[in-house]
Amino acid sequence: MGKGNWVADLRAVISELPYSTSFPDAQSVRDEQIWLDLTKDIRTGADKWLHTLLEDNELLYLLHGRKERVGSGEVRVVRRSLRGYLRIGNRDHRVALTKLLVANHTLRSVTGRWAGIPLNERWCRMCGQAEETPEHVLLECRGVAEVITQRQRVRQLLMNVLKPDDMERIRSVGSRGTDQLRILISIDKASVIVAPFAYKVMKTVRQSPFVPTTYWADESSGSSSLLVSLGVTVPTRLLDLGNTHTHNHSIRPIWRNVLWDIVALLDSLGVEWSTVDPLAYANAGEATLICDFIITIGVKPHSLSHRAAEAAANAVANILQAAGFPQIEVAFIESTYRLQANLMGFKALRWEPIQGLRKPFTPTLGLSISPHKSPHCEGTGGLFFRLNTDKSDNRVVLLTCAHVARPDVLRLNRQYTRQNESQPREDIILLGDKSFTSATEDIVKFEINHMKAISSWERSLSKVPPQEEGEPDEVSSTRQYWTHRIADTKKMIAAAKDIHSYATKNLAPAASRILGSVLHCSEIEVDADGFRCDWAFIEVDGHRLESEDFQRNKLFVGGNKTSVDWENFMFPQHHDRRDFQVPQDSLLQLGGYVSEAEFQNPQNYDVHDMQALLAVKNGFTTGTTFGRVNGLESVTRCYPEVGGVAQTALEFVVCGYDTKTAKNDRFSDGGDSGSIVAGRDGRIIGQVTGGAGLTDGTDKTYITPYFALKNAIERKYPSAYPLPAAI
């Protein structure tokens, strides 16, 4: 343009600015102040425009509303300046922190957007417990011990250099990591300390294996070799922490912190662990413990050398020593944690009383269930619920595990809810294929065995002389004994045949055993307190509950256990019978639940006269079993090759209850998932979700405590409550 058109050129340039600025008229171009004001307007407009861009960009949330101290004076918003983190001398450190702040990083909070991964599935690669964000990996994550140690050093350095006013600013936002990080980057001295830490953390994240949120399930089982035990002999009996010394152990107040420190250490060492359990050991039938507290760490079979196990055990021992508990032992065992949806068949139960033979075909708690479309995937129904108190809504739902109701949840892990009647049903049947066959075969075995017994008794009766007037009372009593026994047994056989006939004629097709359909299947997740929540509601078809056999929430505790077993296992001490009861017809009435406080301070006494939380359950595979609930939480982790969603969660161990004469059987096995675990007084303790272990004698069952499960259910169905037991 010509020499005289510089004003027009300037006007053209300013008109292209992304914000509005007034240009002076031709008569004012010779006024110097006009140009000074214009320059100020341009800068002010640029500041506002840049500020709006930053505030409106959700990816730049760490830069939103940030305030800086101006000189030594007030703290206020400074829209444009050469920030302290941009003046950091080390280029790698400067770039690492800047990239985190402007969302130009490879954390999953950003990369998950590119891949279309839902926000709640962008798990941290170091811990798998929260969304992988800058504030999480820098300030919160406890997945890698090295990062935790570095973070502690950074905190100490910050405390040494920050002014009291700045420390107060940080404290004022509490535990909100986002606000804490905003404040730190606004303080020059702090950003110089945080930048090298950010560089190291990002390097650790990149080297961490990806923790998947969904994967294909596979079948697997653990082996039974003890890898290393520091200072403790391999025991012959497994106890839990259900004794006086350990339920009230002084580690209780800090146990969860110690537990998560151990998890972080194991992950940092690359140990492929599955469980971390606080246990106690004794020889079978003896009350004296050979080890009153030992932390056993289950690892994937063949994944850890003896030398590596020793090194890891020593490192864990260092954590315990630092916490003030150097006397606690550490042991590594080969063990696999797995969710108990049985895909391998059914272990037949030896049903003795007639109600034990009848029970599988009735809607009595401890129901054997499976998806209609996958009748080989069997589990257990644990508890009946009403969805609300509205009398017009008479729906009854059955609680089970999500991975029982919808086995695909182990692969997809998505929430499902049937919203209306037009939506296709996902039917659930009573008794899968193998369990139906087993239940009917049990009846046949019962008939055959008792027919053999009758033949033997008839031979004994034939040896009794014919009845004569004035015969000795002993002869009359013997004849009467065998006659009545034979007659009663024939009646039992006839009743058993009736059950078998009805079942095989009316219930053989799977479609005839449809119990209901899936109403809601939760995503398998870890709650805010760290507990695993794996639950589903089956809406039971109304006509299935019209039978007189429907006892609502009464748990069947018979079958493979007798009333004598109940008394010996659940009330072994005469001084501990304040709530003594023998369930009528082997049906334990359920109601209420055990509080978190009582897990730590149980009120029962076991066969060794030690305080314990005694428990009973009835499951699809193992029937009725008795156990003792641990007083301290365990932490479990699933792996893709053994089935389950890759999560790290808190659960409680239940150990098969040992007595002086009874074998220490498993408390549960594959297929028992969904079973409700109850106390001897009928209060609900928890839900069986998984298991792990070495042998039949030492296997551990894992449960989600009902106090945690209840909260998860009420988040979806606020008015849901357990159906009262039948009177």
Three-state SS string across 42-72, please?
HHHHHHHHHHHHHHHCHHHHHHCCCCEECCC
Residues 6 or more apart in contact with residue 429 via CB below 8 angstroms: 369, 370, 371, 372, 375, 510, 511, 513, 514, 515
- Evaluate if residue 180 carries a pLDDT over 80: yes
Identity of the amino acid at 581:
Q
Structure tokens given for 181: 């990080």
- Evaluate if residue 695 carries a pLDDT over 80: no
For position 16, what pLDDT does the model report?
Answer: 81
CA distance 349 to 278: 32
Average pLDDT over residues 580-604: 87
Phi, psi of 600 (to 5 degrees): -85, -25
For position 536, what pLDDT does the model report?
Answer: 92
Report the C-alpha dihedral over residues 182, 188, 194, 199, rounded to 10 degrees: 100
Report the C-alpha dihedral over residues 678, 681, 682, 683, rounded to 10 degrees: -70
Residue 439 Ramachandran class (φ > 0 left, ψ -120 to 50 alpha, else beta)? alpha
Average pLDDT over residues 542-560: 77
- Evaluate if residue 558 carries a pLDDT over 50: yes
Q: Residue 566, Cβ neighbours under 10 Å: how many?
A: 21
Cα 216 to Cα 202, 209, 213, 411: the distances in Å are 29, 18, 11, 5
Which fold does the domain 252-332 belong to in CATH? Alpha-Beta Plaits (3.30.70)
| pLDDT classification of 355: cutoffs 50, 70, 90 | confident
Residue recorded with tokens 């502690």: 152
CA distance 169 to 697: 56
For position 294, what pLDDT does the model report?
Answer: 82
For position 709, what pLDDT does the model report?
Answer: 92
pTM: 0.57
Residues 6 or more apart in contact with residue 24 via CB below 8 angstroms: 31, 34, 35, 38
Domain boundaries along the sequence of the chain: 6-56, 84-207, 252-332, 339-345+558-706
For position 331, what pLDDT does the model report?
Answer: 81
SS3 239: strand
| pLDDT classification of 697: cutoffs 50, 70, 90 | very low
Nearest Cα neighbor of 496 from 545, 444, 544, 548 is: 444
Predicted confidence (pLDDT) per residue in 635-673, tens digit: 888 765 555 567 788 999 888 775 444 455 678 887 788
For the chain, what percent of residues have pLDDT higher than 90? 9
CA distance 498 to 496: 5
For position 640, what pLDDT does the model report?
Answer: 58
Predicted confidence (pLDDT) per residue in 483-522, tens digit: 988 888 888 888 888 888 888 887 888 888 888 899 999 8
Q: Do residues 401 and 379 touch, judged by C-beta distance below 8 A?
A: yes
CA distance 366 to 379: 9
Residues 6 or more apart in contact with residue 171 via CB below 8 angstroms: none
Residue recorded with tokens 């892990």: 413
For position 42, what pLDDT does the model report?
Answer: 86
- Evaluate if residue 60 carries a pLDDT over 60: yes
For position 7, what pLDDT does the model report?
Answer: 77
Q: Compare 377 and 549 and report the one with higher pLDDT.
A: 377
Identity of the amino acid at 295:
I
Angle (CA) 331-332-336 rounded to 5° is 135
- Evaluate if residue 352 carries a pLDDT over 90: no
Rg (the chain; Cα; Å): 34
Q: Which range among 110-119, 586-595, 684-693, 714-723 shows the weakest confidence by mean pLDDT? A: 110-119
For position 286, what pLDDT does the model report?
Answer: 60
Highest mean pLDDT among 251-255, 311-315, 678-682: 678-682
- Evaluate if residue 421 carries a pLDDT over 80: no
For position 696, what pLDDT does the model report?
Answer: 43
pLDDT averaged over every residue in the chain: 78
For position 691, what pLDDT does the model report?
Answer: 64
For position 44, what pLDDT does the model report?
Answer: 84
Average pLDDT over residues 308-336: 83
| pLDDT classification of 302: cutoffs 50, 70, 90 | low
- Evaluate if residue 353 carries a pLDDT over 60: no
For position 384, what pLDDT does the model report?
Answer: 92
CA atoms within 13 A on the CB side of 174: 2
| pLDDT classification of 537: cutoffs 50, 70, 90 | very high
H/E segment holding residue 334: strand 329-334
SS3 197: helix
DSSP class of 29: T
SS3 612: strand
SS3 78: coil
For position 199, what pLDDT does the model report?
Answer: 92
Average pLDDT over residues 250-257: 86
DSSP class of 660: S
Phi, psi of 664 (to 5 degrees): -85, 75
For the chain, what percent of residues have pLDDT higher than 70? 82
Q: Do residues 351 and 442 touch, judged by C-beta distance below 8 A?
A: yes
Average pLDDT over residues 344-351: 32
Q: Do residues 654 and 627 touch, judged by C-beta distance below 8 A?
A: yes
Q: Residue 646, Cβ neighbours under 10 Å: how many?
A: 18
CA distance 28 to 24: 6
Sign of the torsion formed by the C-alpha atoms of 352, 353, 356 and 358: positive
DSSP class of 378: B
Predicted confidence (pLDDT) per residue in 219-252, tens digit: 233 322 223 333 232 333 344 443 334 566 788 8
Angle (CA) 22-25-29 rounded to 5° is 105
Q: Do residues 410 and 644 touch, judged by C-beta distance below 8 A?
A: yes
Residue recorded with tokens 């964000």: 133
* Domain 339-345+558-706 in CATH 3.30.565.10: no
Q: Compare 595 and 284 and report the one with higher pLDDT.
A: 595
CA distance 287 to 291: 11
| pLDDT classification of 683: cutoffs 50, 70, 90 | very high
Average pLDDT over residues 71-98: 79
- Evaluate if residue 1 carries a pLDDT over 50: no
Q: Which range among 23-32, 123-132, 216-225 shows the weakest confidence by mean pLDDT? A: 216-225
For position 727, what pLDDT does the model report?
Answer: 53
| pLDDT classification of 600: cutoffs 50, 70, 90 | confident
- Distance of alpha carbon 456 from its chain centroid, rounded? 53
Nearest Cα neighbor of 272 from 338, 339, 336 is: 336
Nearest Cα neighbor of 301 from 693, 27, 688, 665 is: 693
For position 56, what pLDDT does the model report?
Answer: 78
CA distance 459 to 463: 7
Predicted confidence (pLDDT) per residue in 127-176, tens digit: 767 888 999 999 988 878 788 888 888 888 888 888 888 888 888 888 78
